[in-house]
Amino acid sequence: MTTYVHDFSDGDKDQKDLLGGKGANLAEMTNLGLPVPPGFTITTEACRAYLAAGHEPDGLADEVSAHLATLEAAMGRRLGDPADPLLVSVRSGAKFSMPGMMETVLNIGLNDESVVGLAAQSDDERFATDSYRRLLQMFGSTVLGIESEVFAEAHDALKKERGTVEDLDLGVDDLRALVATYKKAILEHAGREFPQDPREQMDLAVRAVFDSWNTDRAVLYRRQEQIPEDLGTAVNIQAMVFGNRGMSSGSGVCFTRDPASGAQGVYGDYLQNAQGEDVVAGIRNTVSLADLADLDRTSHDELLAIMATLEKHYRDMCDIEFTIERGKLWMLQTRVGKRTPEAAFRIAVHMVDEGLIDLDEALRRVSGAQLAQLMFPRFDPGAERTLLATGMNASPGAAVGKAVFDWGTAVEWAERGEDVILVRKETSPDDLHGMVVAKGILTSRGGKTSHAAVVARGMGRTCVCGAEALDVDTKEGRFTVRGGKTVHEGDLISIDGSTGEIFDGAVPVVDSHVVRYFEGDDVDDPVVSAVTRLVEHADSTRRLRVRTNADTAPDAARARRFGAQGIGLCRTEHMFLGDRRQLVEDLIVADDDAGQEAALQALLPLQRADFTEILEAMDGLPVTIRLIDPPLHEFLPDLTELSVAMAVADVRGHRKKRQRKLLEAVTRLHEQNPMLGLRGVRLGIVIPGLFTMQARAILEATAARVRAGGAPQPEIMIPLVASVRELDLVRHRIADVARDVAEETGIDLAFKVGTMIELPRAALTAGQIAGSAEFFSFGTNDLTQMTWGFSRDDVEASFFGTYLEQGVFPVSPFESLDTEGVGSLVRTAVRLGREARPDLHLGVCGEHGGDPASIHFFDEVGLDYVSCSPFRVPVARLEAGRSAV
Ligand code: ADP
Ligand code: MG
Ligand code: MG
C-alpha cells in the first residue's frame, strides 16, 4: 500500500520529489536535532492521485488521522480542543517554490469555542483573538477564494476609525469586532459559514493546497520556468508556535550570508510580536539580527549557532524562517537561498577557501547566465535613486531615457538624438519601429513571454514588463504609479532590466567591472576576482574550445582579450559596404568579362588588407573566413527608390546609362524569397570570379603574414552548401588559386577548406560532404530557419509570443538550440561526417554558440569548439567548463 503521509522525523533533504522542498528540509532539520515544531507531510504522490481522480485517494484520511493522533499525543493537546486547543499550520510546498500557488494557513483549529480556551490557557485574550482573526483572513482568502482586499479593507477601516496605522494599536475589543466582520464577509462572499469543525478546516485547507497546483498563475509560472506540469505539491501540517504572544515573541527571516553582495556574515530581519508573513509584508519596521541580540541574547546566540550548523550541513548559503515564542526559538523553514549573480560567484569561491566545497562544485554553482548579467552596464550602485515601481526583469541592462508613449514619437525623438524609453501597456508588432530605436522598453502588462519581452531579448534591448503598479495612459502620454507620482512624456526615467526596477530621473550608469577587467583595466573588486578564478578553473576543465565571431581586427583583438581561441566566423559581406558598394555595383552591371574582372581587381587589394589585419590580430590562432554569403541585391539600391529616381531623371530628360543598367540589374536580381535564393555557394558558382578573388585575397594575406614572421592559420569556409558537388566545384577553383599564389610568392601556404552545415540536406548527406571538407561549422541560425521553415527576421515579432504562450516551445529556438529537431540534424551530421573523415574538425558559429544550454549540447555531441560574439566569450568559457565537471 502506498504511504501518503510521512512524519517530519521520517525523511531527508534529498526527498524533494516526494516531500516537496519545504517538507524535505523540515525533515532534515528535525533529524539534525534542531528545534522544529513537530508535524507531518502529505506527499506529492497524494496530490497527484487527488488531481487525477478529482477526490482524495483512498486511505489518505485514515493516514492523516493516525499522524494527527501522534502529533496530538506529542503535544499533549487535541486539535481545536475547546479547553486547550492544539493549533496547526497547513503549508504548501512543491519541489520548486512557486508564486501563484496557495500559501499557508496558520492557526487552524481555532473556532468560537477554542479561541476562548486559548485565551484562558495563554492568559492573553488579545493574542487569542488576534490569532483567530488571522485564521479567518487567511482561510477566507486562500481556501475560500475571497479577494484578500475584502479583509485588508475592513482591517484598514478599523485602524482608521481608531486613528492609527499600527496593527498593534488595536485592542482586544477591536479584534473581536474584526472577527465578527470577517465572519460576515465570509458568509457574504463565499456563501457559507466559516467552518467551526477543526478537522474540516484542516481537510479543506489541504484540498485547497492541492487545487492551487492548477491555478492560472501557477500554470503560467511553470511554463515560463520550464517546471514539469505533473509534479504536484506536498502539504505540511505542523504544530503552531506563536510569534504574536507579546514582545518576548516574534518572527524573522535570515540568511547565513548576504544574498545581495555575497559578503560573509549573517544577515536578517526580525519583528517583535508578529506572526508569519508580517515580517516580509512590511507592515512594521523590522530590526536586524544584531538588534535581536539586545532583545533576546539567548535566542540570538542559539539562532547563530544553528545558522552555522545549517550552512556547514548544506555546504551552501541557507535562507531561514524562524519564530521565537516567549524566549524559545523555533525553526520553521530552511532552504538553499536564492542570490544575486554577484553573490553567487563570491559565495562559491569563499566556500572553496573555507574548505566546504571544491572548485568543481563552485563551478557548478554559478552559471553563464549569471556571468552575462555581470557583464551588462549597470546603474551606479553608489548613486542616489528613487524607486517608482518594480516589474518583471524581462531583458537585462540599464537604460536611461525620456518616457515616450507611442512608436511614432519614439522614432521622431530618437532621430533628433534623444534617448527614449518606450512605455506601453503592452506592445504589438506595430510598436516594433519604436522598440528598435528605444534604449529600453517598459510595459505594465504581460509576463516574460509577452511580445515586449520576447522581442526585446531578441534585440538585446533592456526591458521591464508587467509593472502592474503603473497606470499607463498612452493617449494622454503619461503613467501614474499606483498611489504615487505621475510621469509625463519627456520626463526622464531609468529602468533596470536585470532587477525589474523602475527609477525616477536619470540614474548614472557605469561599465561592468568584469568587462573592464577583461579589457585590461586594473579593477579591485571581489566579484571580479571570484569570476576570474572560476573562469580560469573552467578553462582548465573544459574540452570544448571557444572561438569568436569577429569581422574586424579590433573585434578580433577584443575577443582575444576575452579569451577567444580563434575566429569561428569572419563574415566578409561588410567588406563590400560603404565606399566599396560602388565597386560591387560595377561588378554586377559589368557587360562583359573584362568589366567584371576590372571590378574584381579593384576589390582584391581592399580585401587583402582586411584579411591581413585580422590574421595579424589572431596570429597563431585559427581564423575561419566565410566567403560572401548574402544575396547580391543587398548591395544594390532599393528597387522602388531607384525606379523613382529614374522616373525623375526621365522627366528631366537625362537618363543615365549607368542608372538604366543598375535598374536592370536590380530588377533581374530581385527575389521573392531572397533567403532561399541566389546566395552563398550558389553565387560562387554563378559568378566564379567572386569566390576566387576572395580566396586569392585570403591567401595573399596569408603569404604576407608569413613573410612578416607571423603564424597565420586561415580556414576558408563555403556557406550554404547543400550538395558535395557544389563544394567540389568551388574547392577546385580555390586549389588552383592556391597553386598560383604559392608560385607567385614562393611561400608554402597552409590553409584549410571546409563548409558550413546550415541546410538540412547538408546535414543528411554530411558523409559525402566530409569527403571534400576538412571542417564543418554548424550555422545553426540558418539551420533553425530551414528546419522549422520560418524566417527569423519575421516570426519573432509576429507570432513567437503566441507560440511561447501556447507552449509550442518553451524558449525561442533562435535563442536556445532546439535539441530535438535541429539538434538531431547536428547529431546526424557529426556522426556521418566523422565516419567518413575521423579527423574532421567540428564547430558551431550560430548565435547558439554563446547560449549556455546549447553549449552543453554541443559539448555532449562532441564538437571541437563553439564560436560566439566577443562579449559572450567568457560566458562560453564558463559554460564549457561547467559542462565538463
Ligand atoms: P511560504 O512558502 O510562503 O514561505 P510558509 O509555509 O513558509 O509559506 O509560511 C509562512 C510563514 O508562516 C512562515 O515563515 C512562518 O513564519 C509562519 N508559519 C508557518 N507555519 C508555522 C507554524 N507551525 N508555527 C508558526 N508559524 C508558522
Ligand atoms: Mg516560508
Ligand atoms: Mg547562414
Instruction: List pLDDT tens digits, range 414-435.
Output: 999 999 999 999 888 778 889 9
CB atoms within 10 A of CB 569: 26
Looking at this protein, which amino acid is placed at residue 375? M
**Which ligand has an atom closest to residue 786 CA?**
3
Q: How far is CA 543 from each of CA 560, 652, 860, 862, 884, rounded to the nearest angstrom?
A: 19, 67, 10, 9, 7
Ligand 1 pocket, residue 272 CB under 6 Å? no
Distance CA 693, CA 687 (A): 11
Kindly report the protein residue whose alpha carbon is nearest to atom 2 of ligand 1. Answer: 103
Q: How far is CA 481 from the centre of its chain?
A: 26
Kindly report the protein residue whose alpha carbon is nearest to atom 3 of ligand 1. Answer: 103
CA of 91, closest atom in ligand 1: 6
Instruction: List pLDDT tens digits, range 6-31.
Output: 999 999 999 999 999 999 999 999 99
CA of 239, closest atom in ligand 1: 23
CA-based end-to-end distance of the chain: 40
Burial of 630 (0-12, 13-18, 19+ CB in 10 A): middle
With cut-offs at 50, 70 and 90, classify the pLDDT of residue 1. low
Q: In terms of C-beta distances under 8 Å and separation of at least 24 residues, what long-range contacts does 50-53 make, across chains too?
A: 50/207, 50/210, 51/210, 51/213, 51/214, 51/232
The three grid cell numbers given for residue 61, joined into one nine-digit string: 484520511
Ligand 1 pocket, residue 259 CB under 6 Å? no
Ligand 2 being an ion, which residues bring their Cβ within 5 A of it?
321, 333
Q: CB under 8 Å to 612, separation ≥6 — which residues?
A: 701, 704, 705
Pair 715, 547: CB distance under 8 Å: no
Backbone dihedral angles phi then psi of residue 631, each to the nearest 5 degrees: -60, 145
Q: CB under 8 Å to 340, separation ≥6 — which residues?
A: 259, 260, 261, 262
Mutating to test ligand 1, I would choose from 8, 89, 236, 237 the residue with most ligand atoms within 8 A of its C-beta, which is 89
87 CA from centroid of ligand 2 (Å): 18
Ligand 1 pocket, residue 89 CB under 6 Å? yes
Check pLDDT > 70 for residue 365.
Answer: yes
Ligand 1 pocket, residue 134 CB under 6 Å? no
**Which ligand has an atom closest to residue 106 CA?**
1
Ligand 1 pocket, residue 251 CB under 6 Å? yes
Q: What is the pLDDT of residue 283?
A: 65
Instruction: List pLDDT tens digits, range 209-258.
Output: 999 999 887 887 787 677 888 899 999 999 999 999 999 999 999 999 98
The three grid cell numbers given for residue 830, joined into one nine-digit string: 557529426
Can you tell me the mean pLDDT for 148-175? 92
318 CA from centroid of ligand 2 (Å): 13
Q: What is the pLDDT of residue 250?
A: 95
253 CA from centroid of ligand 2 (Å): 9
251 CA from centroid of ligand 2 (Å): 12
Mutating to test ligand 1, I would choose from 97, 106, 209 the residue with most ligand atoms within 8 A of its C-beta, which is 106
Kindly report the protein residue whose alpha carbon is nearest to atom 24 of ligand 1. Answer: 240
Helices (H) then strands (E): counts for the chain: 36, 33
Percent of the chain at pLDDT > 90 equals 74
Instruction: List pLDDT tens digits, range 280-308.
Output: 666 677 899 999 999 999 999 999 999 99
Ligand 1 pocket, residue 321 CB under 6 Å? yes
Beta-carbon-side half-sphere exposure of residue 847 (alpha carbons within 13 Å): 16
With cut-offs at 50, 70 and 90, classify the pLDDT of residue 644. confident
Which residue's entry shows cell 597553386?
Answer: 739
Looking at this protein, which amino acid is placed at residue 790? F
Can you tell me the mean pLDDT for 866-881? 95
Q: Where are the domains of the chain?
A: 5-239, 250-336, 377-510, 552-632+676-884, 633-670
Check pLDDT > 80 for residue 459.
Answer: no
- The lowest-confidence range among 89-93, 176-180, 658-662, 824-828 is 658-662
Check pLDDT > 70 for residue 33.
Answer: yes
Instruction: List pLDDT tens digits, range 763-775.
Output: 999 999 999 999 9
Can you tell me the mean pLDDT for 321-339? 95
CB atoms within 10 A of CB 196: 13
With cut-offs at 50, 70 and 90, classify the pLDDT of residue 646. confident
The three grid cell numbers given for residue 689, joined into one nine-digit string: 570570379
Distance CA 60, CA 668 (A): 76
Q: What is the pLDDT of residue 398?
A: 93
The three grid cell numbers given for residue 37, joined into one nine-digit string: 515544531
Mutating to test ligand 1, I would choose from 270, 329, 332 the residue with most ligand atoms within 8 A of its C-beta, which is 332
Which is higher by pLDDT, 587 or 860?
860
264 CA from centroid of ligand 1 (Å): 26
CA of 39, closest atom in ligand 1: 23
Ligand 1 pocket, residue 323 CB under 6 Å? yes
423 CA from centroid of ligand 1 (Å): 38
Instruction: List pLDDT tens digits, range 706-751.
Output: 999 999 999 999 999 999 999 999 999 999 999 999 999 999 999 9
- DSSP conformation class of 321: E
Kindly report the protein residue whose alpha carbon is nearest to atom 13 of ligand 1. Answer: 276
CA of 333, closest atom in ligand 1: 7
ipTM value = 0.96
Sheet holding 392-395, edge to edge: 386-390, 501-504, 492-496, 398-404, 420-424, 440-443, 462-465, 392-395
Helix (H, G, I), strand (E, B) or coil at 526: helix
Q: What is the pLDDT of residue 281?
A: 65
Pairing of strands 328-336, 78-79: unpaired
Cα radius of gyration rounded to whole Å, the chain: 33
With cut-offs at 50, 70 and 90, classify the pLDDT of residue 317. very high
Percent of the chain at pLDDT > 70 equals 97
Distance CA 308, CA 305 (A): 5
Catalytic residues: 451, 845
Which residue's entry shows cell 531578441?
Answer: 458
Q: Give me the torsion for CA of 220, 225, 228, 231, rounded to 10°.
A: -80
Distance CA 64, CA 271 (A): 33
CB atoms within 10 A of CB 885: 15
Burial of 743 (0-12, 13-18, 19+ CB in 10 A): exposed
Instruction: List pLDDT tens digits, range 267-279.
Output: 888 999 999 877 7
Helix (H, G, I), strand (E, B) or coil at 584: helix
Can you tell me the mean pLDDT for 850-856? 94
Q: CB under 8 Å to 631, separation ≥6 — which residues?
A: 669, 671, 674, 677, 678, 679, 683
CA of 97, closest atom in ligand 1: 2
CB atoms within 10 A of CB 721: 29
Distance CA 704, CA 610 (A): 12
Mutating to test ligand 1, I would choose from 86, 91, 236 the residue with most ligand atoms within 8 A of its C-beta, which is 91
321 CA from centroid of ligand 2 (Å): 6
Can you tell me the mean pLDDT for 644-658? 70
Kindly report the protein residue whose alpha carbon is nearest to atom 20 of ligand 1. Answer: 89
Helix (H, G, I), strand (E, B) or coil at 254: strand
**Which ligand has an atom closest to residue 269 CA?**
1
**Which ligand has an atom closest to residue 271 CA?**
1
The dihedral built from the CA positions of residue 67, 73, 75 and 78, taken in this order, carries a sign that is positive
Mutating to test ligand 1, I would choose from 238, 333, 334, 335 the residue with most ligand atoms within 8 A of its C-beta, which is 333
Check pLDDT > 90 for residue 559.
Answer: yes
With cut-offs at 50, 70 and 90, classify the pLDDT of residue 662. confident
Can you tell me the mean pLDDT for 690-714? 97
The three grid cell numbers given for residue 503, joined into one nine-digit string: 527609477
Ligand 1 pocket, residue 125 CB under 6 Å? no
HEC sequence for 355-403 = CCCCHHHHHHCCCHHHHHHHHCCEECCCCCCEEEEECEEEECCEEEEEE
Angle of helix 852-861 relative to helix 822-836, nearest 10 degrees?
Answer: 30
Nearest to 118 by CA among 106, 101, 104, 130: 130
- Per residue in 254-273, is it b (16+ CB within 10 Å) or e — as a string? bbbbbbebbeeebbbbbbbb
- CATH fold of 377-510, please? Glucose Oxidase; domain 1 (3.50.30)
Distance CA 842, CA 534 (A): 26
Kindly report the protein residue whose alpha carbon is nearest to atom 10 of ligand 1. Answer: 276
Check pLDDT > 90 for residue 809.
Answer: no
Helix (H, G, I), strand (E, B) or coil at 237: strand
Could you tell me which CATH class the domain 5-239 is placed in? Answer: alpha beta
With cut-offs at 50, 70 and 90, classify the pLDDT of residue 651. low
CA of 275, closest atom in ligand 1: 16
Ligand 1 pocket, residue 238 CB under 6 Å? yes
Q: What is the pLDDT of residue 750?
A: 95
Distance CA 739, CA 735 (A): 6
With cut-offs at 50, 70 and 90, classify the pLDDT of residue 447. confident
Pairing of strands 78-79, 85-86: parallel
Could you tell me which CATH class the domain 552-632+676-884 is placed in? Answer: alpha beta
Which residue's entry shows cell 521622431?
Answer: 412
Ligand 1 pocket, residue 241 CB under 6 Å? yes
* 234 membership: H or E segment, kind and range: strand 233-239
Helix (H, G, I), strand (E, B) or coil at 755: strand
761 CA from centroid of ligand 3 (Å): 14
Could you tell me which CATH class the domain 250-336 is placed in? Answer: alpha beta
Q: What is the pLDDT of residue 282?
A: 62
Q: What is the pLDDT of residue 259?
A: 87
DSSP string, 641-663: HHHHHHHHHHHTT---HHHHHHH
Q: What is the pLDDT of residue 673?
A: 86
Ligand 1 pocket, residue 37 CB under 6 Å? yes
Check pLDDT > 90 for residue 167.
Answer: no
pTM: predicted TM-score of the whole model, two decimal places = 0.85
